[in-house]
């Protein structure tokens, strides 16, 4: 069994924020693969269940606010006895250009409070799907940048990226992480030269 976690903040106020791209990704996976409706679980989060290919997958959107995501992730992983190697976290990444995607297992939190919280509860050996949102250019502007809605310009790549994540999710459960990244990269429009 797999656990896919989207990181974000609960509530309509945050729904279209850059910080909520993780929620957007798992919403799309749920939609694309006909998962159950989202239900309030006992894990301080919303849960949807389904299958991707032949594999059972649990989707989780922590409702703890970003900084306490681990308080939702650990109880869900423990209850279903899912090891970190079968956990994938979808999150925003300041250090990647908008629309770029990278996958890695383990590593540091890179200043991401949601990852830091998960690391402190679960350890670091889970997978991360890092979805680039770009950097505002000044570290003092990061907080307001991630809590702002995506711009019109952003929506051009976002409306391409999110459906592709849903389409290609089967690569993840086959543990073909490079295949997943290659499919997404090939489907994305080329970046404009700066």
Write down the domain spans for the chain: 2-187
Q: 90 pairs with which residues across the strands? A: 6, 129
Which whole number is the average pLDDT over 128-132? 97
Closest CA to 29 of 69, 60, 68: 60
Query: Do 4 and 171 form a contact (C-beta atoms < 8 A)?
Result: no
Looking at residue 42, its pLDDT comes to: 86
Query: How far is it, in rounded angstroms, from Cα 105 to Cα 11?
Result: 29
User: What confidence category does residue 140 fall into, taking pLDDT thresholds of 50, 70 and 90?
Assistant: very high
How would you classify the pairing of strands 39-40 and 45-52?
antiparallel
pTM exceeds 0.85: yes
* Active-site position among 19, 33, 91, 112: 19
**Mind listing the pLDDT tens digit for each residue in 54-95?**
999 999 999 999 999 999 999 999 999 999 999 999 999 999
Mean pLDDT calculated for residue range 116-128 = 97
Reply yes or no on whether the pLDDT at 186 is more than 90.
no
Give the model's confidence band at 145: pLDDT under 50 very low, under 70 low, under 90 confident, else very high: very high
- Rounded to whole angstroms, the Cα distance separating 4 from 56 reads 11
CA distance 165 to 98: 15
Residues with Cβ within 8 Å of residue 106, at least 6 apart in sequence: 124, 125, 126
pLDDT over threshold 90, residue 172 = yes
What pLDDT sits at residue 190? 65
pLDDT grade for 193, boundaries at 50, 70 and 90: very low
Verify whether residue 19 is a known catalytic residue: yes
User: Above 70 in pLDDT, residue 191?
Assistant: no
**How far apart, in whole angstroms, are the C-alpha atoms of residue 96 and residue 144?**
18
Indicate the SS3 state at residue 179.
Answer: helix
* Pairing of the two strands 45-52 and 55-62: antiparallel
pLDDT band, residue 194 (cuts 50/70/90):
very low
List the CATH code of the domain at 2-187: 3.40.50.1470
């Amino acid at each position: 069994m797999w656990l896919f976690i989207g990181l974000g903040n609960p509530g309509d106020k945050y729904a279209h924020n850059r910080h909520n791209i993780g929620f957007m990704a798992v919403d799309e996976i749920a939609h694309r693969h006909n998962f159950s409706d989202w239900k309030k679980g006992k894990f301080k989060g919303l849960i949807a269940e389904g299958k991707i290919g032949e594999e059972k997958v649990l989707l989780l959107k922590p409702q703890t606010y970003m900084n306490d995501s681990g308080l939702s992730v650990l109880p869900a992983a423990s209850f279903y006895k899912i090891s970190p190697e079968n956990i994938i976290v979808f999150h925003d990444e300041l250090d990647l250009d908008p629309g770029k995607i990278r996958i890695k297992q383990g590593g540091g939190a890179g200043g991401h409070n949601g990852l830091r919280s998960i690391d402190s509860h679960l350890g670091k050996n889970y997978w991360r799907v890092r979805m680039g949102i770009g950097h505002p250019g000044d570290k003092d502007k990061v907080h307001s940048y991630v809590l702002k809605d995506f711009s019109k310009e952003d929506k051009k790549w976002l409306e391409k990226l999110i459906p592709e994540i849903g389409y290609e999710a089967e690569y993840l459960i086959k543990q073909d992480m490079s295949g997943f990244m290659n499919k997404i990269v090939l489907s994305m429009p080329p970046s404009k030269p700066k």
